[in-house]
Amino acid sequence: MPELPEVQTIVSDLKKVLPKLKIRDVWCDFKKMIKQPESFAQFKKMVIGKKFLDVKRKGKNILINLSENKTLLIHQKMTGHMLYGKIDPQDRFIHLVFTLSNGKHLALSDIRKFAKVLICETDRLDTLKDIKDIGPDPLDKTFTFKKFKEIFSKKKGVIKNGLMKQEIIAGIGNIYANEILWEAGIHPFKKIQKIKKEEFEKIYKAIKKILKQGVRMRGDSVVDYRDAFGKKGRYQNFHKAYQKEGEKCSKNDGGIIKRIKETGRSAFFCPKHQKL
């Protein structure tokens, strides 16, 4: 699933090319991905003729502000990614295409068809469940260590699951949760209640460091993620834990990366410096 760095990369790309362009037409072959309004015919009527004003990110959501107080919200889910340019009509994974006033296209490619798209009034965006029910952005300047510690002060469960819950912190998924905890030296299944203040400080610093690295490297293409221009990210070349099962820990501490699977997700860690 595209996580914060991947979504931010796409948002940054689209922010450079979309503003001032207009939507001339829209096509969709999987109308179930349009969650609001109720019909694709209504959706089409609401977007055609609108001008792109800005592109933002909220958690893993792409927010495309349009003229006349309209905003497109796109969540790419497991395998979706936005593409800009000339779209290959033979690409069977493209399910939504906006034809733009410069003759190019904005498209949503999604192998598993889990992505969701909706349109709402811009001044009512904060009332959407997709927006109001997610936690703070870990790369926002207001996300201080004090705020981070307060968020987890009354939480239960294991730390890896806590980092991935979007209602607690927005944007972190399985890849970056594994990398963050490897960097911080914290076992992914350590109980939140047993984590000391100095350990929380290490996790907080690792969140900032790892996510910023992910953004600089334009995301992680270990699976099928591509940026808005169809290019792969580079973060997959720098994994320290994720999908490194059986390899020596790069801290040279004698540890071998292990993998534990729980509730369908894998945790990768070094048993030497990430002790439970």
Domain identity same for 156 and 107: no
Instruction: Provide mean pLDDT across the span 3-13.
Output: 98
Together in a domain, 122 and 171: no
Which of 132, 156, 183 represents a domain boundary (last residue)?
A: 132
How far apart are the C-alpha atoms of 144 and 150, rounded to whole Å?
Answer: 10
- Between CA 233 and CA 228 the distance in angstroms is 11
For 126-138, write each residue's pLDDT tens digit: 999 999 999 999 9
pLDDT on residue 89: 66
Under the phi-then-psi rule, with left for phi > 0, alpha for psi from -120 to 50, and beta for the rest, what region is 230? left
- Name residues whose C-beta falls within 8 Å of residue 128's C-beta, 6 or more positions apart in sequence: 73, 118, 120
Instruction: Establish if 137 belongs to a structural domain.
Output: no
**Residue 261 class from Cβ within 10 Å (0-12 exposed, 13-18 middle, 19+ buried)?**
exposed
Same domain, 155 and 114: no
Place 1 in a pLDDT band, splitting at 50, 70 and 90: confident
The pTM of this model reads 0.95
Residues that are catalytic: 2-3, 60, 265
CATH number at residue 76: 3.20.190.10
Question: What value does the mean pLDDT of the chain take?
Answer: 96
* Residue 226 belongs to a domain: yes
As for how many domains the chain has, the answer is: 2
Same domain, 30 and 113: yes
| pLDDT for the residue 30 | 94
Q: What is the pLDDT of residue 263?
A: 72
Could you tell me if 200 and 108 lie in one domain? no
Same domain, 166 and 62: no
When pLDDT is averaged across residues 11-33 and rounded to a whole number, the result is 97
DSSP-based three-state secondary structure for 103 = coil
Residues 78 and 47 in one domain: yes
Q: What is the CATH number of the domain that holds 184?
A: 1.10.8.50
Mean pLDDT for 8-12 is 98
If asked whether residues 72 and 169 sit together in one domain, one would say no
Asked if 264 and 216 sit in the same domain, the reply is yes
Residue 213 lies in domain: 145-269
Q: What is the pLDDT of residues 196-249, one digit of tens each?
A: 999 999 999 999 999 999 999 999 999 889 999 999 999 999 999 999 999 999
Q: Are strands 116-121 and 34-36 parallel, antiparallel or unpaired?
A: parallel
